[in-house]
Amino acid sequence: MSERYYTKKHEWVLVDGKEATIGISDYAQDQLGDIVFIELPDVDDEFEKEEDFGVVESVKAASDLYMPISGKVIEVNEDLEDAPELVNEDALSNWMIKVEVTSPDEVEELLTEAEYKDFIEEE
Amino acid sequence: MRKYDHVIFELSNPHRRAYEIPKNDIEEVSLDSFLPKNTLRKEAPELPQVSQVDLMRHYTNLSNKNYGVDTGFYPLGSCTMKYNPKINEDMARLPYFSKSHPMQDVDTVQGNLQLMDELDQMLSEITGMDKMTLQPIAGSHGEMTGLMLMKAYHQDNGEDHRTKIIVPDSSHGTNPASATMAGFDIVEIESRENGEVDLDALKEALGDDIAGLMLTNPNTLGLFETQITEISALVHEAGGLLYYDGANMNAIMGKTRPGDMGFDIIHLNLHKTFSTPHGGGGPGSGPVGVKERLIKYLPVPFVKKEETGYRLDYDYPKSIGKVSNYYGNFGIYLRAYTYILSMGRDGLKKASEVAVLNANYILSSLKSHYKIAVDRHCMHECVFAGLRKEIAEMPVVNIAKRLLDYGHHPPTVYFPLIVHEAIMIEPTETESKEMLDEFIEAMKAIAEEAKTDPETVKGAPYTMPVKKLDEVGAARNPIVRWSPKES
């Protein structure tokens, strides 16, 4: 089982070989409140690390989603289109996109779970 | 009639009429004799059919539910909901103006042109710019126009590669939206803790692909950007232009000017700073001002004063063209012009001083109960980051809803985005100390309630025509069309 890494913008990524799964943290969903809409990219779209790849909209605000790692989209979680509340229920198992990783080394620049916990405590 | 909650369709009764059109004495022609069949409806539209008295009562009852600056305190941060003196309306209704038409020969509307020319000069003087266009009909429209000017400038100088606009992460959402609409890409830079621009982040973002920087000053946290001259020097050195979002102009009239800070293009919101009606009751007006080197790109026509009188000059080949039908929202110019003349030079300065004083009075009065976002004197608005931890934990949305029961319009909440649980209060200069005290007492009472009786706060409002709304349900499953109740 690979380790989950986080960004300071509250996305998580799980890397398994050439494939990475991306979602938002439990802290992020809690801060956003009830999510009412999630806009995700299309399969085959390519993004650089830190580029925005979608939008999460809650009753409070709309927030961009940022790539934790560069890659090409190979799968999008279509369930979220009709049921964005799934992310509120469980942000870690309800992933947003899967990508083919282009620069695996980028993971090393991300936060480990423990580092992320420290980071949100300071926030 | 406070409980009145009908939709006009519910009052409908076939064959009732509010007004009968007199019988036509011209021979009737059937529609299908001159319109293609596929353009004709097969069934009559289901319009409500009501008598005149029902119609009047319906809308009068609905209008009684309105809340506005004429009924109460409206501290909506970033919106400058100041009271609009009624002399503005009197002047706008003068028949010489209200009955004039934009297609009239200019010789017959010399007064209108004079007013536009003089308003341009007044606004230019107040902001330190060289020339304004009055055409844009909203702040966002002004932004769009300003960015088109920026693009025209760079293209004219052979710098097509300048395709990016820098916006701080504290900026108004319209800034990146307008830049995107105008065909630019956005580079967002993080703000420092106090909401000011991070000079290092700015330096890193600047380059020969940058068209310009969009900024408000005071910034979105209601704080004056103290490094503004360094910022403008950096942007200009890199070949970019500075755009000033006039959203917060109410803080600085007669004190400092965007033109003197180094801004090249600005927009104003006449409906904020210059006391013209707001939002849906508007219409809005977002004049754009520029420095000398950008004048030739401004929208046509220009109002020109000549020996024989005023005329409209379209002879600006580099102009971005018209951005509004006719000449923009002329009725609004009258109101802003009246406001500026009735306030005068000293009055406008005083307005900004009192706006800043009022905001600071609220800031210092509420800091016992609410957490200050950045602990320093604010300008025309103050930002809190929710309740102080030792008082209670309560989402600000509930505090805002509870404030309705105390009879006040809530402040802006959850904006700026960079402040957690933001409450943004802009009292404006037109409120008395008594009103500010009443609001402060209400905010403190709600803070106490959050501690002693949190459920009451969470269930608010209780006194409004509609109670706590299911905002999540409305966003996820919106019902946007009325349909008759099944009987």
**Quick check: B193 pLDDT over 90?**
no
Residues of B in contact with A61 (CB under 8 A): 414-415, 417
pLDDT of amino acid B409: 97
Summarised one tens digit per residue, pLDDT across range B253-284 is 999 999 999 999 999 999 999 999 986 656 89
CB contact under 8 A, A36 and B476: yes
Of residues B368, B395, B374, the one with CA closest to residue B460:
B395
Mean pLDDT score across all residues of chain B? 94
* Integer CA distances (angstroms), A82 to A78, A79, B114, B130, in order: 8, 6, 57, 52
Instruction: Mark yes or no for CB contact B471/A61 under 8 Å.
Output: no
Residue of B177, B254, B263, B180 lying closest to B216 (CA atoms): B263
Residue B487 reports pLDDT greater than 90: no
Q: B420–A123: do the CB atoms touch at under 8 Å? A: yes
Residue A3 banded pLDDT, cuts 50, 70, 90 = confident
How far, in Å, are B80, B151, B324 from residue B317 at the CA level?
37, 15, 18
Distance, in Å, from the CA atom of B397 to the CA atom of B460, rounded to the nearest integer, reads: 10
B364-399 pLDDT tens trace: 999 999 999 999 999 999 999 999 999 999 999 999
Amino acid type, B264: D
Cα–Cα distance, B365 to B269 (Å, whole number): 29
pLDDT in tens, B198-211: 999 999 999 999 99
Q: Which of residues 68-107 of A touch B (CB under 8 A)?
A: 84-85
Domain residue extents for chain A: 4-102
DSSP A111: B
Query: What is the mean predicted confidence (pLDDT) over B51-64?
Result: 94
Cβ pair B472:A36 closer than 8 A: yes
Please state whether beta strands A46-47 and A71-76 pair in parallel, antiparallel, or not at all (unpaired).
Answer: antiparallel
CATH number for the domain running over A4-102: 2.40.50.100
Average pLDDT, chain A: 93
Sequence-distant (6+) residues with CB within 8 A of B402 are: B446, B449, B456, B457, B460, B461
Predicted pLDDT at B463: 93
Chain B contact present for A39, CB below 8 A: no
What are the backbone angles phi and psi of residue B188, rounded to the nearest 5°? -95, 135
Query: What average pLDDT does range B40-62 have in this prediction?
Result: 93
Q: How far is A81 from chain B (nearest CA, A)?
A: 11
pLDDT at B145: 98
By a Cβ cutoff of 8 Å, what residues of chain B touch chain A?
A: 395, 397, 414-415, 417, 420, 471-472, 475-476
* B287/B62 Cα distance (integer angstroms): 33
Q: Residue B244's closest CA among B224, B225, B259?
A: B259
Angle at B283 between CA B280 and CA B289, to 5 degrees: 130
- Mean pLDDT over B76-92 rounds to 95
Q: Report residue A19: phi and psi, to 5°.
A: -110, 140
Cis peptide before B218 (omega within 30 of 0): yes
* Closest CA relative to residue B300, chosen from B325, B320, B328, B275: B320
Map tokens 């405590």 to a residue: A121
| Coil vs helix vs strand at B233 | helix
What is the tens place of the pLDDT at every residue in A38-82? 999 999 999 999 999 999 999 888 889 999 999 999 999 999 988
Res B169: pLDDT: 87
* φ, ψ at B76 (rounded to 5°): -70, 110
Residue B170: per-residue pLDDT: 85
What percent of chain A lies above the pLDDT cut of 90? 79
The pLDDT of residue A11: 96
Quote the pTM value.
0.89
Region A109-120: what's the mean pLDDT? 93
| Closest approach of B410 to chain A, Cα-based (Å) | 15
Mean pLDDT along residues B44-62 = 93
| pLDDT recorded at residue B256 | 97
Fold of B346-474: Aspartate Aminotransferase, domain 1 (3.90.1150)
* pLDDT of the residue at B198: 95
- For the cut 70, the answer to whether the pLDDT of residue B2 exceeds it is no
Asked if domains B87-343 and B346-474 share a fold, the reply is no
Asked whether residue B1 carries a pLDDT value surpassing 60, the answer given is: no
Min distance A103 CA to chain B CA atoms (Å): 23
Inter-chain touch A59–B476, beta carbons under 8 Å: no
> pLDDT tens across B278-301, in order?
866 568 999 999 999 999 999 999
Task: Tell me if B476 sits within 8 A of A85, measured CB to CB.
Answer: yes
Spatial distance between the Cα atoms of B18 and B424, rounded to a whole number of angstroms: 45
- Say if residues A35 and A66 touch (Cβ distance below 8 Å): no
Q: Tell me whether residues B414 and A60 touch, CB distance under 8 A.
A: yes
Distance from CA of B414 to the nearest CA of A (A): 6
Confidence of residue B229 (pLDDT cuts 50, 70, 90): very high
Integer Cα distance of B287 and B123 in angstroms: 9
Write down the H helix ranges in B371-481: 396-405, 433-452, 454-459, 471-476
pLDDT single digits (tens) B98-129: 999 999 999 999 999 999 999 999 999 999 99
Angle between helices B396-405 and B433-452 (to 10 degrees): 120
Q: What is the CA radius of gyration of chain A?
A: 13
Per-residue pLDDT at B484: 79
For chain B, percent of residues with pLDDT exceeding 90: 84
Contact criterion met (CB below 8 Å) for A65 and A54: yes
Q: B10-19 b/e with 16+ CB inside 10 Å = b?
A: ebeeeeeeee
Residue B155: count of CB within 10 angstroms of its CB: 14
Q: Is A55 on the interface with B (CB under 8 A)?
A: no
First to last CA, chain B: 26
Q: Answer whether residue B313 shows pLDDT above 90.
A: yes
When CB atoms are compared, the residue of B414, B417, B472 closest to A34 is: B472
CATH 2.60.120.10 is right for the domain spanning B87-343:
no
A59 reaches B (C-beta below 8 A): yes
Whole-angstrom distance, CA of residue B376 vs CA of residue B353: 17
Min CA distance, B449 vs chain A (Å)?
Answer: 23
Judging by DSSP bridges, how do beta strands A52-58 and A35-39 pair with one another? antiparallel
**pLDDT at B26 > cutoff 60:** yes
Contacts of B395 in chain A (CB under 8 A): 33
Residues of chain B with Cβ-Cβ distance to A85 below 8 Å are 476
Put simply, the answer to whether A60 touches B420 (Cβ < 8 Å) is no
Going by C-beta distance under 8 Å and a sequence separation of 6 or more, which residues neighbour residue B246? Answer: B127, B139, B142, B216, B258, B266, B267, B268, B269, B272, B273, B286
Domain boundaries, chain B: 8-63, 87-343, 346-474
Cβ B472–A123 below 8 Å, yes or no?
no
The ipTM, to two decimals, is 0.71
